[in-house]
């Protein structure tokens, strides 16, 4: 792939990808290194702490109360999924997947970021069902941050870059994280 920051259509139908450069590439590599022991020289002799493992994880959470006190969690999740699909088309980076560049040798620092365009609504709804997560527990925002941090993944795991979690807040309303 030539040097460009533009996404280009790949031979696979509807997949757009671009190679990662500079800080993006370094971040992808370091996150991979942090989560594996393939490169032991990078680590000191101390065990890897959860703080170091989740160094690339970003958590944003907010507490929302709606005027309608009768809004059910199932209804909210359905509304959020619809909005999430619309948001995807305005900010496609929320639906990108980072992976090793095809045909690279083990140890090469070659990464791509891809975005799959959807030809029908069912595929977009499937993406939303994967990335919008309904949480059933009612706990504090700080507790949710710890739980979600423990579930974080490395960019090279082939998952979407952003997930949206929804849960009831103990004091009423909802957390959107």
What is the pLDDT, as a whole number, of residue 62?
92
What is the pLDDT, as a whole number, of residue 7?
62
Which residue, among 28, 162, 140, has the nearest Cα to 93 in the 3D structure? 162
What is the pLDDT, as a whole number, of residue 45?
43
DSSP 60-112: --EEE--S-TT--HHHHHHHHHHHHHHHHHHSGGGG-EEEEPTTPPTT---EE
What is the pLDDT, as a whole number, of residue 169?
95
What is the pLDDT, as a whole number, of residue 14?
66
Residues of the chain with pLDDT under 70: 1-9, 11-16, 18-57, 106-109, 154-156
Q: Which CATH architecture has domain 8-176?
A: 2-Layer Sandwich (3.30)
What is the pLDDT, as a whole number, of residue 99?
75
Domain boundaries, the chain: 8-176
Which residue, among 81, 87, 24, has the nearest Cα to 56 in the 3D structure? 24
pTM, to two decimals: 0.68
């Amino acid at each position: 792939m030539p040097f460009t920051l533009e996404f280009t259509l790949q031979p696979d139908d509807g997949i757009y990808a671009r190679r990662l450069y500079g800080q993006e590439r370094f971040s992808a590599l370091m996150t991979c290194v942090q989560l594996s022991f393939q490169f032991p020289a990078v680590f000191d002799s101390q065990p890897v702490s959860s703080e170091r493992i989740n160094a690339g994880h970003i958590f944003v959470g907010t507490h929302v109360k709606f005027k309608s006190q009768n809004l059910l969690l199932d209804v909210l999740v359905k509304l959020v999924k619809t909005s999430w699909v619309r948001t995807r088309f305005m900010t496609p980076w929320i639906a990108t997947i980072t992976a090793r560049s095809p045909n690279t040798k083990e140890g090469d620092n070659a990464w791509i970021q891809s975005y799959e365009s959807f030809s029908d609504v069912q595929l977009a709804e499937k993406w939303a069902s994967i990335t919008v997560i309904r949480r059933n527990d009612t706990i504090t925002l700080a507790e949710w941050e710890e739980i979600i941090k423990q579930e974080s993944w490395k960019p090279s795991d082939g998952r979407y870059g952003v997930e949206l979690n929804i849960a009831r807040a103990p004091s009423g309303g909802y957390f959107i994280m």
